[in-house]
């Protein structure tokens, strides 16, 4: 957000300077002898603009960001993103990292302005976007790149499934609304498949961006900030094609040798080797300001390869709006999750912010709101010290709050937290005034419709009373775990959280993943479980998280089929024929 940060003495002359950044976040500077100066300066806006446009005809609208005093003048500083190369050799682009390394060569005015950039770095990559624009909008179906899912046999096995395509054609009549489940009748076993499962649009966007980037840049190093999505098979396939990760999903950096950096280890990090020629893709979860600033300073293109899901970005926009309205922002999420880290990093720019994990933590805050005391304030500070913005003061910052959420959690949990806080403030301020202390007016529009429709579709499938359920997804996939929780509530130990068909060893050996509910280390463990005893026409529910490829779902079906005598199974062609025959005309 453009802002004036310093008001210098009015007696000094005022100069206008336009900072011209290219798409790689490099700044245009003017070389004079062995030194570097501001490239586009004038005593009024028109003069500065004419000097900018002498070099760059195409640029974004200029916007003022701050004012700084240097060399006896007051500089009003404007930003613009430009296209093309400057005319002649006098003006050149350099990264902020390069300018910092050559500080001795900088004119005092240029050095002072670069020093004032820090609070505004996050604006630089996105100068071409309006405040309400999204970095990477969902592609409509006709714009999807279906070829990347079938580029070779390995991709086809991972991503394609005739069964899943038939189910979607039959029952997924609306992307945003759950429908009845489908039944695949193989004879000895029947599969109950929710209408919505597997890849959401944000994941599809990110995957297509990654494969397209690799294909379009065969001679360049292509990195992912961290895991593209929470699915090891997708990430491994991308690595096989040349993609490398800079850090883990828990922000632990990799060394140039491929290992994890260890405390006290002096091995060079991949981060340290990055240059402006490299490509770094930001995953669907988004990224923290700290990570993005590293890329900006190095002169690496950020916006072009930012695959942040627009529904995650929608949460960020809501937090920004709440902050401007004077609310503190409470983020319902897992503090160790990349998405929640990114949301907190964005929110803290606009509002005092706090992360809570559960309704139990909301209740602790509620007690402090209703009956503040030194003991409760001290307990709050201890519990939320690393989960809140610096200097978060409950006495001031819990007067008006608004709740946003990590998009992959259960909707009813976020709703319960919002309703709880609404009740607390009504109790404190009365029925009439209480609601004004909770932002959003009852709206729940930061909840991800894709997460919710998968959960709704699963609930409809569970109503069919299956004998068992397999939920497929990465071990660190939050949304997959939420689906498993729904199955476990209905089926107990007949619900299995698995990563692929390889976890189904035999009827008495299913490798079930026990999700680490209370562990920030996110280690978890595998547990051997028995499959339900064979019965006539067993009904098995199968679904996948938002990062589960269709190919894995089909492989699980085929693996379970292999546990039954072939003579008792109908051919897959017949089952596909049933589905296609049921598709309405024109469907």
**One domain for residues 253 and 337:** no
DSSP reduced 3-state for 446:
coil
Residue 106 half-sphere exposure toward CB, CA atoms < 13 A:
23
Tokens at 294, concatenated: 């590293």
DSSP assigned state of 62: P
Q: Is residue 383 situated within a structural domain?
A: yes
Q: Does 105 share its domain with 18?
A: yes
Q: From CA 305, how far away is CA 285, in angstroms rounded?
A: 13
Give the number of C-alpha atoms closer than 13 A to the C-alpha of residue 557, restricted to the C-beta side. 28
Calculate what percentage of the chain has a pLDDT beyond 70: 95
**CATH number of the domain that 54 lies in?**
3.90.79.10
Of 447, 464, 491, the residue that ends a domain is 447
Per-residue pLDDT tens digits for 379-416: 999 999 999 999 999 999 999 999 999 988 878 888 89
Tell the residue number behind the tokens 């894709």, with chain if given. 450
Domain count, the chain: 4
Last residue of a domain, one of 92, 126, 160: 126
* pLDDT tens, position by position, 218-257: 999 999 999 888 899 999 999 999 999 999 988 899 999 8
Question: Which range is least confidently modeled, 154-163, 180-189, 522-531?
Answer: 522-531
pLDDT for the residue numbered 177: 81
Tell which residue, 70, 81, 74, 68, has the closest CA to residue 19. Answer: 81
Q: Which is higher by pLDDT, 73 or 8? A: 73
The whole-number pLDDT of residue 452 equals 86
- Categorize the per-residue pLDDT at 277 as very low, low, confident or very high, splitting at 50, 70 and 90: very high
- Pair (459, 443) in one structural domain: no
pLDDT at 520 over 50: no
pLDDT 10s digits, 337-376: 999 999 999 999 999 999 999 999 999 999 999 999 999 9
Give yes or no: residues 97 and 166 share one domain.
no
Check pLDDT > 90 for residue 305: yes
Tell me: do 211 and 292 sit in the same domain.
yes
Helices (H), 247-388: 270-273, 289-297, 310-324, 338-347, 359-370, 374-384
Mean pLDDT over each residue of the chain, to the nearest integer: 91
Q: How far apart are CA 434 and CA 425, in angstroms?
A: 5
Secondary structure (DSSP) of 361-427: HHHHHHHHHHS--HHHHHHHHHHHGGGB-TT--HHHHTSSEEEEE-TTS-HHHHHHHHHHHHHHHHH
Is residue 467 a part of any domain in this protein? yes
Tell me which of 100 and 582 has the higher pLDDT: 100
pLDDT value at 572 more than 80: yes
Nearest to 468, CA basis, from 445, 488, 498: 488
CA 205/CA 461 separation, integer angstroms: 27
Of 447, 482, 515, which residue sits at a domain end? 447
pLDDT at 559 over 70: yes
More confident residue, 6 or 224: 224
- The answer to the question of residue 355 being in a domain is yes
Nearest 5°: CA angle at 327, between 323 and 329? 75
- What average pLDDT does range 161-190 have in this prediction? 87
In-domain check, residue 472? yes
pLDDT attached to residue 419:
93
| In a domain? residue 25 | yes
**Are 483 and 471 a contacting pair, CB within 8 Å?**
yes
Whether 296 and 332 share a structural domain = no
Residue 297 has pLDDT above 70, yes or no: yes
Please determine, for residue 38, whether its predicted confidence score (pLDDT) is greater than 80.
Answer: yes
Q: Whole-angstrom Cα distance, residue 461 to residue 58?
A: 54
Q: Confidence band (pLDDT; 50, 70, 90) for 445?
A: low
Query: Residue 442's pLDDT is what?
Result: 54
Query: Does 9 score more than 90 pLDDT?
Result: no
* Residue 585 pLDDT exceeds 80: no
The per-residue pLDDT for 371 is 95
269 within 8 A of 253, measured Cβ to Cβ: yes
Q: Classify residue 387: in a domain, yes or no.
A: yes
Residues 428 and 319 in one domain: yes
Residue 462 lies in a domain: yes
What would the DSSP string read from start to end of 72-114? Answer: TEEEEEEEEEB-S--SSSSEEEE-HHHHHHTGGGB-HHHHHHH
pLDDT tens readout for residues 88-146: 889 999 999 999 999 999 999 999 999 999 999 999 999 999 999 999 888 888 889 99
Domain with 342, as residue range(s), is: 310-447
Q: Residues 208, 196: one domain? A: no
Check residue 587 and give its pLDDT: 41
- What DSSP line would sit under 105-147, residue for residue? GB-HHHHHHHHT-GGGGGGGGGTTS-TT--SSPPPPGGG--GG
Q: Are residues 18 and 112 in the same domain?
A: yes
């Amino acid at each position: 957000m453009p802002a004036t940060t310093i008001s210098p003495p009015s007696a000094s002359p005022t100069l206008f300077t336009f900072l011209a950044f290219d798409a790689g976040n490099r700044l245009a500077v003017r070389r004079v002898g062995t030194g570097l100066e501001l490239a586009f300066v004038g005593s009024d806006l028109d003069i500065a603009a004419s000097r900018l446009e002498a070099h760059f005809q195409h640029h974004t609208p200029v916007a003022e960001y701050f004012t700084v005093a240097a060399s006896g003048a007051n500089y009003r500083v404007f930003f613009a993103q430009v296209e093309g190369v400057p005319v002649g050799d006098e003006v050149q682009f350099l990264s902020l990292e390069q300018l910092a390394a050559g500080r001795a060569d900088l004119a005092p005015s240029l050095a002072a302005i670069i020093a004032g950039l820090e609070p505004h770095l996050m604006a630089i990559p996105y100068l071409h976007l309006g405040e309400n624009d999204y970095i990477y909008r969902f592609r409509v179906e006709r714009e999807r790149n279906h070829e990347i899912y079938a580029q070779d046999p390995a991709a086809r096995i991972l991503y394609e499934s005739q069964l899943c395509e038939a189910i979607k054609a039959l029952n997924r009549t609306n992307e945003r609304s759950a429908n009845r489940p489908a039944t695949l009748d193989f004879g000895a076993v029947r599969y109950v498949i929710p209408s919505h499962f597997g890849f959401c649009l944000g994941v599809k966007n990110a995957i297509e961006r990654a494969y397209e980037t690799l294909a379009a840049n065969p001679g360049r190093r292509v990195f992912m900030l961290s895991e593209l999505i929470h699915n090891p098979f997708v990430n491994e396939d991308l690595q096989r094609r040349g993609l490398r990760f800079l850090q883990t999903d828990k922000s632990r950096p990799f060394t140039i040798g491929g290992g994890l950096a260890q405390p006290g280890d002096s091995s060079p990090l991949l981060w340290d080797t990055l240059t402006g020629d490299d490509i770094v893709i930001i995953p669907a979860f988004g990224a923290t300001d700290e990570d993005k600033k590293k890329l900006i300073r190095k002169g690496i293109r950020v916006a072009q390869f930012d695959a942040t899901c627009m529904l995650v970005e929608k949460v960020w926009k809501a937090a920004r709006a709440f902050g401007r309205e004077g609310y503190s922002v409470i983020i319902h999420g897992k503090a160790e999750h990349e998405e929640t880290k990114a949301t907190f990093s964005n929110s803290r720019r606009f509002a005092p912010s706090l992360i809570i994990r559960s309704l139990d933590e909301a209740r602790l805050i509620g007690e402090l709101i209703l009956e503040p005391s030194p003991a409760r304030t001290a307990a709050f500070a201890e519990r939320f010290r690393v989960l809140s913005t610096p200097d978060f003061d409950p006495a001031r910052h819990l007067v008006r709050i608004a709740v946003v959420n990590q998009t992959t959690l259960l909707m009813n949990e976020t709703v319960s937290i919002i309703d709880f806080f609404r009740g607390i403030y009504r109790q404190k301020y009365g029925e009439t005034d209480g609601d004004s202390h909770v932002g959003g007016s009852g709206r729940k529009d930061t909840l991800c419709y894709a997460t919710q429709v998968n959960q709704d579709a699963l609930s409809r499938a569970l109503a069919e009373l299956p004998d068992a359920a397999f939920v497929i997804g990465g071990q660190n996939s939050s949304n997959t775990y939420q689906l498993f929780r729904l199955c476990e509530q209905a089926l107990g130990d007949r619900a299995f959280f698995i990563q692929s068909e390889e976890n189904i060893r035999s009827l008495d050996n299913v490798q079930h993943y026990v999700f680490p509910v209370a562990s920030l280390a996110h280690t978890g463990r595998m547990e051997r479980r028995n499959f339900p005893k064979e019965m006539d026409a067993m009904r098995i529910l199968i679904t996948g998280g938002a990062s589960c490829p269709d190919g894995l779902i089909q492989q699980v079906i085929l693996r379970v089929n292999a546990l039954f005598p072939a003579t008792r199974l109908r051919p897959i062609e017949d089952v596909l024929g049933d589905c296609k025959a049921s598709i309405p005309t024109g469907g």
